[in-house]
Amino acid sequence: MNLYEMYDKAGISREVFDYCDKVLAGLKERFEEIDYNAEFNQLKVLKAMQKNKVSDVHFAATSGYGYNDLGRDTLEAVYADVFNTEAALVRPQITCGTHALAIALSANLRPGDELISISGKPYDTLEEVIGIRPSKGSLKEYGVSYRQVELTKEGLFDKESIKNAISDKTKMMAIQRSKGYLSRRTLSVEEIGDVIQFVKSIAPDIIIMVDNCYGEFVETIEPSDFGADMTVGSLIKNPGGGLAPIGGYIVGTKECIDNCAYRLTAPGLGKEVGATLGLMQSFYQGFFMAPEVTAGALKGAIFAANLYEKFGFKVIPDGKEPRYDIIQAIEFGNEQGLIEFCKGIQYAAPVDSYVTPEPWDMPGYDSKVIMAAGAFVQGSSIELSADGPLKPPYTAYFQGGLTWHHAKYGIMKTLLNLVNAGIVKL
């Protein structure tokens, strides 16, 4: 049985298979670049684990207070080394990326302080954390003011406006690396590093926090390499490698991380408590596998961009642009296109492939959202998944794929769905 016959048994038509094969033939060099970065990052993680003498003793479960949890403390040392920071907080008690960001913000801002986002509007779920949309317990309720500086039309940092925005109240500046539900370009680590140095040259005491979600291990460098005071992310995205069942991380200066630990647990307790409940092996092994898993997701994103670009859809980034995160945005211009795309991803899943995703009023969002994710870990967006808000321009945000070949199959399945719906013609 040849490869096409296997795809035929998996429901992929000959026409879709051949069309996708032609697209893939032109991506060899791009994929080689991704493999180079994966190899570089793999060695970086391996070196950090060896330096910190990771042993099977570090996989042991702790309960209760979690005092003297060697696995937890060593994992945080590994993260600090990989991200080139003074300290790290890596915990299963951090429930998601939004929670990690909320901890970083609330731990280091006080009443009367000002937070400025210098990459424009933050991701939807942060709006209630900040108080842009009213919510109980928001930073606004605690007297923290907020402003934002938009990116330029070209999607670059507006340095002049950033400089003019700084006041005596400005305590922290936030940067969102990925686009979220926006049609802007993702920011490169070098661009982020450049603006960090710019801000520090004007006001060295301002804390710079970078939302690193979806960006880890895409490049060989991270925002923390360029002086970000806090770099924040989720373990059910890139750094969990698909194995972490929960968790988030914050890496940065010792002072900022100590503050975060006191906010996560309680004043006076900080990093000393927090049982790991038998999750350490998944955290270590997932982090070890993360560079390769991220590489597979990146290949899927580039394939999707090149494929849908040929049909005239607007794709962000386009098929040739450099990649700075694993997210691929595809604008369908109508509700049906978005829904059919997400259905294709769901039907390609190893879990819940028989389920049809439907738009719904998801907490934290201002419109109905459709989400496709037949994942081993609920909400894990390093696994093959797609989602998008049901509002113009009806953009699907595609990401993940624990293996490149699964990502490939998922994209082929979306194309088949769109062809069958009469939205796309081969």
Interval 121-175: pLDDT, tens: 999 899 999 999 999 999 999 999 999 999 999 999 999 999 999 999 999 999 9
pLDDT score of 404: 98
Reading the chain (426 residues) residue by residue, the pLDDT tens digits are 899 999 999 999 999 999 999 999 999 999 999 999 999 999 999 999 999 999 999 999 999 999 999 999 999 999 999 999 999 999 999 999 999 999 999 999 999 999 999 999 999 899 999 999 999 999 999 999 999 999 999 999 999 999 999 999 999 999 999 987 787 899 999 999 999 999 999 999 999 999 999 999 999 999 999 999 999 999 999 999 999 999 999 999 999 999 999 999 999 999 999 999 999 999 999 999 999 999 999 999 999 999 999 999 999 999 999 999 999 999 999 999 999 999 999 999 999 999 999 998 877 677 899 999 999 999 999 999 999 999 999 999 999 999 999 999 999 999 999 999 999 999
pLDDT score of 11: 96
Radius of gyration for the chain, computed over Cα atoms and rounded to the nearest angstrom? 21
Q: Give the amino acid at 367.
A: S
pLDDT score of 117: 98
What is the H or E stretch that residue 57 is in? none
pLDDT score of 415: 98
Name every residue whose Cβ is closer than 8 Å to that of residue 259 and which is 6 or more positions away in sequence. Answer: 107, 108
Nearest to 240 by CA among 286, 195, 280, 297: 286
Residue matched to tokens 């979806």: 214
Please say whether the dihedral angle defined by the alpha carbons of residues 213, 216, 221 and 226, taken in this order, is positive or negative.
Answer: positive
pLDDT score of 124: 86
pLDDT score of 179: 87
Residue matched to tokens 């003074």: 86
Nearest to 365 by CA among 94, 202, 152, 181: 181
Return d(Cα 222, Cα 376) in angstroms, integer: 28
Strands 145-148 and 114-117: parallel
pTM of the predicted structure, to 2 decimals: 0.96
* Domains within the chain, CATH numbers bracketed: 3-42+290-420 (3.90.1150.60), 60-287 (3.40.640.10)
CA 253 → CA 69, 82, 175, 222, 394, distances in Å?
Answer: 22, 14, 17, 15, 40
For 260-275, how does the pLDDT look when each residue is reduced to its tens digit (9 = 90+)? 999 999 999 999 999 9
CA 400 → CA 107, 181, 297, distances in Å?
Answer: 30, 16, 5
DSSP string, 86-151: SEEEEETTS-SHHHHHHHHHHHH--TT-EEEESSSSPPHHHHHHHTSS--TT-TGGGT-EEEE-PP
What is the H or E stretch that residue 234 is in? strand 230-234
The number of C-alpha atoms within 13 Å of 35 and in the hemisphere containing its C-beta is 7
